[in-house]
Structure 1
Amino acid sequence: MTHLAPVIHQSHDLLPVRPPETVSMRTRDGARLDADLYRPDAAGTWPVLLLRVACGRRTALTSHYAHPRWYAARGYVVVVQDVRGCGTSDGRFRPFEAEREDGADAVAWAASLPGSSGVVAMYGCGYAGMAQWLALAERPAALRAVAPAFAGWDVFSDWAYEGGAFRLADAMGWALRAAAEAARRVEDGTGHRILSDSARSLPIDDEIPSRPQALRDYARYSHYDDWLTNPVPGQAWAALSPKAMLTDMPADVAVLQLGGWYDPRLAGTLDAHDRLAARVRAPVRLVVGPWSADGPAAAPGEAPTLDTLQLAWFDRVLKGQGSDRGGPVRLHDVETGRWHDLPTLPAAEAVLHLASEGLANRQGGRLGPEMPDFEALDVVVHDPRTPVPTVGGHAVPAAAGRFDRAAVDRRPDVATYTSLPLDEPLLLAGRVALDLWVEADAPSFDVSAVLSVVRPDGQVLPLTQGHARVEPGDPTRPLTIAMRAACATLAPGSALRLSLAGSCFPAYPVNPGTGAEPGETRRVDALPITLLIHSGPDRPSRLRLPT
């Protein structure tokens, strides 16, 4: 592993840029899709950068990226297109359903635009990132590179559910914004106002927190009910997901993925990199930085912008300009601010065992490399009236990042297991997992797991987290929880802490304990749940780390 110096990008002689033009195309089934076109005001032809957005092409331009004029001045034709049913484009918006065919049609059309060299690349974050994957699966001939950011790979496990639990805050917030846009398109002023207001302050205190009144009243504008009532993977989800289309994707398209430590879809981003690196002949690179789904998060050190990263990438793979430096995987260290360059993402191989004398919910649990020589039982009681709140991390985009969770760890409904302070620096870089022997006095229960660094000054800052919903009959001997990946160099005097709880609200719905679906659960229906957490030789709960 090497530590990278700051990235130095090639300078560009800036070109004048023409005023934007509104242009339209027809999809294979006749739908009109509208776009804005930006191109250099100079003789010649240039590669095309295509951005297809679901949030309105005029308002989406600078949410994460430089304005298209910035790219046009550096020698690109830029096309920003409203996807079907959004902005001013025809049709009804149904997430991901038409993006494979529409995206391929858009690539072919973009390649023929004035100023185009016939070579197309796609970029964009979130939904626009998934739209790139789906277009790629249709193998459009002109597509040479994609740069999906904060996109994930599988709609079910990256957008709708995590560990079997519905992604409440994330999915609800997006559904409300999309429904408000649908109401605006048909000039439903009342619906637009109610849905927009709800999106700004999620109505999670509703009688049915997972299906609030606004989404019940305006279900006709939203996909939300379809997602909420389909809690298991299957063909309906696969039909929307790039993960299920891997074999359809060409091996000669360059891929740059941009992920964030506080992005809800990071796990899918890492999975996509693993799958593509094994089968794609063109360059494949993964960069994970101090970013959330909403953009940069506070972090030590300097981070390049998404624009400088992908401009250097496009210059190299589309124009043959600049040199290739660094490895296939580049990770930002959330503690030091440095960047680490790796050939692959390391697996979780080192082990820390949980140990306790029954007082982990009084901050008495321990993490250590040695297996404890005695059996232990920690009891955690989850009270649905006062669920353990989400603090930082990735699962509530509006509040994502690293926030001190010391006060949450002092709650009696949180079990904590803390290592001894470190004598020397420790680098964690890669995937994390937890094998937990746990049971409950209810047919269904949740386990929220957060791994943090405890700094010498007492701050407890999350490094990564995972969540699991256990349904009646699910195996828990042990329960394996994928905890995403992390990259951090822990300083001497710091310690690691694992925090376990029966809820993480509003990131995920409060489990009522009955096995009922979230959309059918009223607040009054939820019951207290007692969790029994085992550790010791016969039931060895353990944390697996990439050290």
Structure 2
Amino acid sequence: MTSLSSRLSQRMLRLPPPLTRDLTIERDLRVPLRDGTVLLADRWSPRSGGDGLPTALLRIPYGRAGMIAAQLVRPLAERGFQVLIQSTRGTFGSGGAFDPLRCEREDGIDTLNWLVAQPWCGESVVLTGGSYLGFAQWAVADAVPPQVKAVIPAVSESAFTLGFLRGDAFSLEATLSWGLQVADQERPFALLRQLGRIRKERRAWYTLPLSEADLAANGRRSDYFQNVLAHEADSPFWQVIDHSRRVPDITVPVSSVGGWFDIFLPGQLRDFRVLQEAGRTARVTIGPWAHISMGAGQVAAAEALDFGLALARGEKPADRAPVRLFVMGAEKWRDFPTWPPPGYTPRRFHLQPNGALSPDAPVESAPDTYRYDPADPTPAVGGVRMAVGVRSGRVDNTALEARPDVVTYTTPVLDKDTEVIGEVSAEIWFRSSLPYADVFVRLCDVDEEGRSTNVCDGLAGLTDADTITCATVQLWPTAHLFKRGHRIRVQISSGAFPRYNRNPGTGTPRATAQTLHPATQQIHHTPTHPSTLTLPTREPN
């Protein structure tokens, strides 16, 4: 069984053959913290010669056994590391109460101080892991002992989940799904419970008031979900989990891995840019992935071995550019010196009458009108998603664009390739019959057969929408080649549910709103109200 697990992880992660498959596991090591709490950890190492090897540290709230160990721990322990995997506070035998995200700095620093004092630890430590495990790295990366030689966070960022909690763009799907997952994860048959809850969870998205959604899904409260409903991103309550201010002080080399459809991408690229501007050793790899992706896992495992293990051994990692991006459309990897890459010029495309999109200045025209009904909300289709059983990433948008609450604007057929890499934004002049409304903007690539595929998107909320107002929408960053013969399209609607919560149109706090009001929406595109999409473009050589 051990050999099968080893070979399966090797194949799934596309790893070279191991140095050994013969490992030993010391379970339930007790790690004391400053407040007297004890956390449990398992040490994996080669049965022969494990003491003194570089140590990979993973701090995880999801348990230390099963598929977690097979995919995260065993591959590293078989290829030059010994690995310490620790259950975070209040999870899977570790003492204290699980207070998601809020204790990882102090607990992580205490764990590192304990680790480097162990006689078997050796002289080098590497921090690795994705998502919550990545956040646990960002929480301590500016305060690590000198034995830490590399930090390798994947699909993560230093202000983890705060981007979900904006008052004007609340991420319902991710917060409810994750809150339900961690609330149930230690109950018997947790995975089966999670799979069996999918239908209830989807119904719970529609629950009013939202404060009852966790009960509707599984009959139990989720402390995390209740906290995100009660406190917006700028609340003092969340200050303890915002480590973005610490990023400039990180001196240990960082290699991060992300995806163009990952929920944490904007924050991850912000962190990389801060590190680079501070003159730190940092690199980033972004692929065509969503948050839960085998591709991201493969690259993260490779970075732990190629980047982390080399530095842990006092060697120089193989040379590569600081920024490695998968350019969608071209379907190729490209290297760049910085993010955003140099040589890409912001180019404004204006919304025009009759669904046209053009660099030309707009002419006088009547606004385009549609009706948004939060009782039948515009659905999220592909793109940036994180929930069990939903499809993320690039998908066919034909059915979405056929809805009467989605308006599209499209360029003529391109006579040459147009490459877009960098930050994408839109300014949409908008008016609603209600003072509260959302503006969702999506960039799409339309191929020769007319199929429209999403590239990136974003949403902004308005609180004075009953007057003509400019909605500034920051879309997800991207790297995409629009090929000659294709067309560039922008979609505009008033939601992407359940990725974002429905805007009820009332201004009532999201936790307590119970009444939904439909609205008539207008998109303006005139010389005095020029709605635009701004793309960082370059024509490939």
**TM-score normalized by the length of structure 1:** 0.87
What is the CA–CA distance in structure 1 between the aligned matches of 2:500 and 2:213, rounded to whole Å?
A: 18
What is the CA–CA distance in structure 2 between the aligned matches of 1:274 and 1:10, rounded to whole Å?
A: 29
Return the offset for 1:133. Answer: 0.6
Residue 120 of structure 1 corresponds to which residue in structure 2? 125
Q: Of residues 347, 350, 355 in structure 1, which corresponds to 2:346?
A: 350
- Aligned 8 A contact 1:173 1:199 in 2: no
Identify the range of structure 1 (76-85 vs 233-242) with the bigger mean alpha-carbon deviation.
233-242
Residue 261 of structure 2 corresponds to which residue in structure 1? 262
Residue 161 of structure 1 corresponds to which residue in structure 2? 165
Q: Of residues 292, 300, 312 in structure 1, which corresponds to 2:306?
A: 312
Q: Could you say if the C-alpha distance between residues 221 and 196 of structure 1 is closer, same or farther in structure 2, counting changes exceeding 3 Å?
A: farther
What is the CA–CA distance in structure 2 between the aligned matches of 1:80 and 1:476, rounded to whole Å?
A: 54
Return the offset for 1:227. Answer: 0.8
- Aligned 8 A contact 1:290 1:296 in 2: no
What is the CA–CA distance in structure 1 between the aligned matches of 2:277 and 2:529, rounded to whole Å?
A: 36
What is the CA–CA distance in structure 2 between the aligned matches of 1:126 and 1:109, rounded to whole Å?
A: 24
Q: Of residues 166, 169, 174 in structure 2, which corresponds to 1:170?
A: 174
- Aligned 8 A contact 1:56 1:87 in 2: yes
Counterpart check, 1:19 vs 2:24:
yes
Residue 143 of structure 1 corresponds to which residue in structure 2? 148
Identify the range of structure 1 (323-332 vs 167-176) with the bigger mean alpha-carbon deviation.
323-332
What is the CA–CA distance in structure 1 between the aligned matches of 2:241 and 2:72, rounded to whole Å?
A: 29
Residue 397 of structure 2 corresponds to which residue in structure 1? 405
Alpha-carbon displacement from aligned partner over 1:301-331 (angstroms, at most 9, x marks no partner)? xx95321233111133222446432211111
Tell me which amino acid in the other structure corresponds to 2:529.
R
Residue 271 of structure 1 corresponds to which residue in structure 2? 270
Q: Of residues 95, 99, 102 in structure 2, which corresponds to 1:97?
A: 102
Residue 227 of structure 2 corresponds to which residue in structure 1? 226
Tell me which amino acid in the other structure corresponds to 2:185.
E
Return the offset for 1:143. Answer: 2.3
In the alignment, structure 2 segments of 5+ residues that lack a partner are 1-13
What is the CA–CA distance in structure 1 between the aligned matches of 2:268 and 2:112, rounded to whole Å?
A: 23
Q: Of residues 332, 335, 339 in structure 2, which corresponds to 1:341?
A: 335
Return the offset for 1:455. Answer: 0.8
Q: Of residues 23, 29, 54 in structure 1, which corresponds to 2:61?
A: 54
Identify the range of structure 1 (269-278 vs 220-229) with the bigger mean alpha-carbon deviation.
220-229
What is the CA–CA distance in structure 2 between the aligned matches of 1:409 and 1:254, rounded to whole Å?
A: 44
* 1:223 alignment partner, SS class: helix
In the alignment, structure 1 segments of 5+ residues that lack a partner are 1-8, 358-363
What is the CA–CA distance in structure 2 between the aligned matches of 1:165 and 1:219, rounded to whole Å?
A: 25
What is the CA–CA distance in structure 1 between the aligned matches of 2:335 and 2:238, rounded to whole Å?
A: 34
Residue 385 of structure 2 corresponds to which residue in structure 1? 395
Identify the range of structure 1 (72-81 vs 227-236) with the bigger mean alpha-carbon deviation.
227-236
What is the CA–CA distance in structure 2 between the aligned matches of 1:440 and 1:385, rounded to whole Å?
A: 17
What is the CA–CA distance in structure 1 between the aligned matches of 2:426 and 2:476, rounded to whole Å?
A: 10
Return the offset for 1:48. Answer: 0.8
Alpha-carbon displacement from aligned partner over 1:452-480 (angstroms, at most 9, x marks no partner)? 10111222111001011223589974221
Residue 540 of structure 1 corresponds to which residue in structure 2? 530
- Aligned 8 A contact 1:356 1:376 in 2: no
Alpha-carbon displacement from aligned partner over 1:495-514 (angstroms, at most 9, x marks no partner)? 11100101211111111100
Residue 81 of structure 1 corresponds to which residue in structure 2? 86
Q: Of residues 429, 437, 460 in structure 2, which corresponds to 1:445?
A: 437
Q: Could you say if the C-alpha distance between residues 297 and 461 of structure 1 is closer, same or farther in structure 2, counting changes exceeding 3 Å?
A: farther
* 1:171 alignment partner, SS class: helix
Matches within 5 A, 1:37-48: 37-43=43-49, 45-48=52-55
Alpha-carbon displacement from aligned partner over 1:107-161 (angstroms, at most 9, x marks no partner)? 1222234532232111111111111111224444432211111112324543x32
Q: Of residues 455, 461, 471 in structure 2, which corresponds to 1:463?
A: 455
- Aligned 8 A contact 1:16 1:41 in 2: no
Return the offset for 1:194. Answer: 7.6
Tell me which amino acid in the other structure corresponds to 1:152.
E
**TM-score normalized by the length of structure 2:** 0.88
Tell me which amino acid in the other structure corresponds to 1:153.
S
Identify the range of structure 1 (393-402 vs 429-438) with the bigger mean alpha-carbon deviation.
393-402
Counterpart check, 1:210 vs 2:220:
no
What is the CA–CA distance in structure 1 between the aligned matches of 2:58 and 2:526, rounded to whole Å?
A: 53
Identify the range of structure 1 (253-262 vs 115-124) with the bigger mean alpha-carbon deviation.
115-124
- Aligned 8 A contact 1:346 1:430 in 2: yes
What is the CA–CA distance in structure 2 between the aligned matches of 1:336 and 1:304, rounded to whole Å?
A: 21
- Aligned 8 A contact 1:17 1:69 in 2: no
Return the offset for 1:222. Answer: 1.9
Residue 360 of structure 1 corresponds to which residue in structure 2? none
What is the CA–CA distance in structure 2 between the aligned matches of 1:45 and 1:402, rounded to whole Å?
A: 45
- Aligned 8 A contact 1:356 1:377 in 2: no
Residue 427 of structure 1 corresponds to which residue in structure 2? 419
* 1:20 alignment partner, SS class: strand
Q: Could you say if the C-alpha distance between residues 323 and 97 of structure 1 is closer, same or farther in structure 2, counting changes exceeding 3 Å?
A: closer
What is the CA–CA distance in structure 1 between the aligned matches of 2:372 and 2:324, rounded to whole Å?
A: 39
Return the offset for 1:165. Answer: 1.6
Alpha-carbon displacement from aligned partner over 1:371-394 (angstroms, at most 9, x marks no partner)? 123244111210222211100001
Tell me which amino acid in the other structure corresponds to 1:311.
L
What is the CA–CA distance in structure 1 between the aligned matches of 2:131 and 2:67, rounded to whole Å?
A: 11
Tell me which amino acid in the other structure corresponds to 1:42.
S
Residue 184 of structure 2 corresponds to which residue in structure 1? 180
- Aligned 8 A contact 2:124 2:313 in 1: no
What is the CA–CA distance in structure 1 between the aligned matches of 2:71 and 2:246, rounded to whole Å?
A: 31
Tell me which amino acid in the other structure corresponds to 1:389.
P
Return the offset for 1:42. Answer: 3.1
Alpha-carbon displacement from aligned partner over 1:352-403 (angstroms, at most 9, x marks no partner)? 333333xxxxxx3111111123244111210222211100001344421111
Identify the range of structure 1 (215-224 vs 402-411) with the bigger mean alpha-carbon deviation.
215-224
- Aligned 8 A contact 2:429 2:531 in 1: yes
Q: Could you say if the C-alpha distance between residues 112 and 118 of structure 1 is closer, same or farther in structure 2, counting changes exceeding 3 Å?
A: farther
Residue 235 of structure 1 corresponds to which residue in structure 2? 236
Identify the range of structure 1 (117-126 vs 192-201) with the bigger mean alpha-carbon deviation.
192-201
* 1:519 alignment partner, SS class: coil
- Aligned 8 A contact 2:348 2:534 in 1: yes
